[in-house]
Chain A
Amino acid sequence: MAIAVSQAGPVAAPKRHSQFYLGWKRFSKNYFAVAGLVWVAIFFIVGIIGPWIAPYSYKDADFLAMHTGPSWKHLFGTDTVGYDVFSQILFSIRYALEIALGATCVSFVIGVILGLWAGLAGGIADVIIMRGVDFMFALPSFFFALILVVLLGKGLGPMMLAIGVPGWAGYARLIRSLVLSMRNGEMVEAARALGASQSHIAFKYMFPNVVGSMVVSLAFGIPYDLTAQAGLSIVGMGLNPPMPSFGNMLAAAGENILGFPWLLYFPAGIFAITLLSFLFVADGLQEAFSPKGGM
């Protein structure tokens, strides 16, 4: 009896799913992450259109209406100088986002370059870069940021640098460890057997394979930078008034907490929800892109 075994049996092509689609499917099952994403999206939209929808300019103080409570005229009330708190918050979101995103980009770019370099080159370059990482971790980065603000000034650009530059070490360490685990792996060996050059391997093979992890760490990095920026403002090293920032508002509100608590409720509430949302999103991303996430 002969049993025919076809050389290549007809295999039905499974439905095409990109990595992104699979990740999204897992992400969308996490309700906290989705809720966080919605809030973050609103935050971003407000950050973009905020200056146009704000009822008042952040510079126009209404001296006749100081310390008024929430009303239809001033949605979140007015503060000690007569600024409209709602408008202040809208502008703060704009600047907070600009600085946080800028700072995260700065840390990310420095971190990726140094991390790739350390991981790929090895040897003395690796030693020097990793001792740099140790140094950064030993030093409180907030302290480092303070020094940089003093050196660079208080504008938007200097703030990005001040918060971003000290943050590179985490990214560098992460990407280096990912590169090291891949460098002697079979995929890279196979790529080299194809005749792929070193830079081709770095950008076509290694980078796309670490992007998932990088996205996750970026998502964790943004709320960190938001907090750092607010912290700088609270100690008086943030954006100069009258440029509004969450830190300035919180610091001022804290002084008047007994008399005018709404000055604290709205900014602090929005800021806290935002930070939480970012963390939920980051958490969801981590789960979605984790290799252990399964399918």
Chain B
Amino acid sequence: MAEALLAIDDLRVQFDRGEDEVFAVNGVSFSIAEGEALGIVGESGSGKSVTLMSALGLIRENGKIKSGTAKFQGHDLLKMRPRQLEDIRGRDIGVVFQDPMTSLNPVMRIGDQIMESMLTHQYAGRREAFERTLQLLHEMGIPEPKARFRNYPHEFSGGMRQRIMIAIALACEPQLLIADEPTTALDVTVQMQILALLQEQRQKKRMSIAIITHDFGVATNFCDRIIVLYAGQIMEMADTRQFLRQPAHPYTVGLKNSIIEIGQRDRQLSPIPGMAPTLTEPPKSCSFASRCPFATERCRSELPALREISPNHHVACHRAEEVLAHAI
């Protein structure tokens, strides 16, 4: 495996809600290798965005990072001063957000918005930045870059706006691109185009992509490796192939069974009962136990550690082997 570009270790994040505290991220450790596409999958509220955004210092005011390190190229992002982080954000790490309708500045021409990050980071001079913007628009598949340069965001469709967001994120040729639900707000046909575009850019620029999604299908299509988050903890982490062949965590199995596929009218969908919890105290037992069909007494009293059950396949479940062996 190539050298780790971003290594997050034992990250813990809490939010202060006034009357109580929410434990959003509870000791998450993982790394992203150079050139790798990592998928972070989880339901809403599972802490998937918070994990990466807090590493970038983009955490809401009531959020606090309690412990952990996030080493980007060997430097701990969590210990950096805001100024240093500003330098890294947008230059070394690009971010694409979920909703291109609300993330772009409605009163700024899109060309200026793309140029802006290059100018802010002194990546290029005005002339150069302009040329590069035209080229980026072209690469993103936006026709007539010269004419479109001077358009405002409201003159574009959702898919086109997401392409512009990606152009902004890629403007300074970052080593890491964080895509936070990049396709969730888009039509399915456009979703695939955007994913294909990201994939193409990744291969061309040899950058790493961390894609945050609740869509298991998107993750398995796009990523080399997948992490499943639940209640701010890693439930399972393995190669995509392993996930497709044989997931070992009951939660992952449940996620897989909840996917609706076209033309499978007769297949019984088996949704996971209940709702994802919001932890108001640190987990002491398996957080999934209350929804797990295989839960035992041990699951309700003892916190399962993330362990490697086969090479590069990590699971946090007491009964992972049994799940794998279809014994239960």
Please list the residues of chain A having a beta carbon within 8 angstroms of any beta carbon in chain B: 5, 7-8, 10-11, 13-14, 16-19, 122, 184-187, 189-197, 200, 204-205, 208-209, 211
- By a CB distance below 8 angstroms, the chain B residues around A7 are 141, 193, 196-197
A190/B108 in contact, CB under 8 A = no
B155/A14 in contact, CB under 8 A = yes
Residue B160 CB within 8 A of the other chain: yes
A18/B152 in contact, CB under 8 A = yes
B residues 128-163 in Cβ contact with A at 8 Å: 141-144, 147-148, 150-152, 155, 157, 160, 163
Q: Provide a sorted-by-A list of 10 A–B residue pairs whose CB atoms are within 8 angstroms.
A: A7-B197, A8-B141, A16-B150, A122-B61, A186-B97, A186-B99, A187-B102, A197-B86, A197-B120, A209-B107
B151/A187 in contact, CB under 8 A = no
Q: Which of B7-15, B87-95, B253-261, B312-320 contacts A (4 or more CB under 8 A)?
A: B87-95
- B101-127 Cβ-contact flags toward A at 8 Å (1 or 0): 011111110000000110011000000
- By a CB distance below 8 angstroms, the chain B residues around A8 are 141-143, 163, 193
- By a CB distance below 8 angstroms, the chain A residues around B80 are none
Residue B60 CB within 8 A of the other chain: yes
B102/A195 in contact, CB under 8 A = no
Separation of A203 and B197 alpha carbons in the complex (Å): 33
Separation of A138 and B89 alpha carbons in the complex (Å): 45
A13/B97 in contact, CB under 8 A = no
A195/B144 in contact, CB under 8 A = no
- By a CB distance below 8 angstroms, the chain A residues around B196 are 7
Considering only CB atoms and an 8 Å cut-off, how many residues of chain B contact the other chain? 46
Separation of A18 and B150 alpha carbons in the complex (Å): 10
* Minimum Cβ distance to chain A for residue B204 (Å): 15
Residue B78 CB within 8 A of the other chain: no
A10/B86 in contact, CB under 8 A = no
- By a CB distance below 8 angstroms, the chain B residues around A11 are 143, 157, 160
* Minimum Cβ distance to chain A for residue B158 (Å): 12
* Minimum Cβ distance to chain B for residue A128 (Å): 19
- By a CB distance below 8 angstroms, the chain B residues around A193 are 56, 58, 89-90, 94-95, 97
Summarize A's interface: helix, strand, loop or mixed. Answer: loop
B107/A184 in contact, CB under 8 A = no
B152/A194 in contact, CB under 8 A = no
Separation of A264 and B148 alpha carbons in the complex (Å): 58
A5/B144 in contact, CB under 8 A = no
Please list the residues of chain B having a beta carbon within 8 angstroms of any beta carbon in chain A: 56, 58, 60-61, 85-91, 94-95, 97-99, 102-108, 116-117, 120-121, 141-144, 147-148, 150-152, 155, 157, 160, 163, 165, 168, 189, 193, 196-197
Name the CB-closest residue of B to A189: B58
Separation of A111 and B191 alpha carbons in the complex (Å): 45
- By a CB distance below 8 angstroms, the chain B residues around A17 are 155
Name the CB-closest residue of A to B155: A14
Of the candidates A5, A13, A208, the one whose C-beta lies within 8 Å of that of B151 is: A13
- By a CB distance below 8 angstroms, the chain A residues around B144 are 13
Name the CB-closest residue of A to B148: A13
Q: Taking A16-B155, A205-B105 as contacts, is the C-beta distance between A190 and B148 under 8 angstroms?
A: no
* Minimum Cβ distance to chain A for residue B160 (Å): 7
B88/A190 in contact, CB under 8 A = no
> Which of B87, B116, B160 is packed against the most chain A CB atoms within 10 Å?
B116
- By a CB distance below 8 angstroms, the chain A residues around B87 are 195
* Minimum Cβ distance to chain A for residue B263 (Å): 17
A195/B108 in contact, CB under 8 A = no
Q: Taking A192-B58, A194-B120 as contacts, is the C-beta distance between A187 and B103 under 8 angstroms?
A: yes
> Which of A19, A194, A196 is packed against the most chain B CB atoms within 10 Å?
A194
* Minimum Cβ distance to chain A for residue B50 (Å): 13
Q: Taking A16-B150, A196-B120 as contacts, is the C-beta distance between A191 and B89 under 8 angstroms?
A: no
- By a CB distance below 8 angstroms, the chain B residues around A5 are 189
- By a CB distance below 8 angstroms, the chain B residues around A196 are 86, 90, 116-117, 120
Separation of A185 and B89 alpha carbons in the complex (Å): 18
Q: Taking A11-B160, A13-B143, A196-B120 as contacts, is the C-beta distance between A190 and B91 under 8 angstroms?
A: no
Q: Taking A184-B60, A186-B99, A189-B58 as contacts, is the C-beta distance between A194 and B193 under 8 angstroms?
A: no
B141/A191 in contact, CB under 8 A = no
- By a CB distance below 8 angstroms, the chain B residues around A195 are 85-91, 117, 120-121
Query: Which 3 A/B pairs are nearest by Cβ-Cβ distance?
Result: A8-B141, A195-B90, A193-B95
- By a CB distance below 8 angstroms, the chain A residues around B168 are 194
- By a CB distance below 8 angstroms, the chain A residues around B108 are 204, 208
Name the CB-closest residue of A to B95: A193
Name the CB-closest residue of B to A190: B103
Separation of A188 and B197 alpha carbons in the complex (Å): 25
Name the CB-closest residue of A to B142: A8
Q: Taking A193-B90, A193-B97, A196-B86 as contacts, is the C-beta distance between A209 and B105 under 8 angstroms?
A: yes
Name the CB-closest residue of A to B141: A8
Separation of A208 and B163 alpha carbons in the complex (Å): 24
* Minimum Cβ distance to chain A for residue B199 (Å): 12
- By a CB distance below 8 angstroms, the chain B residues around A14 are 155
Separation of A183 and B283 alpha carbons in the complex (Å): 32
- By a CB distance below 8 angstroms, the chain A residues around B120 are 194-197, 200
A19/B152 in contact, CB under 8 A = yes
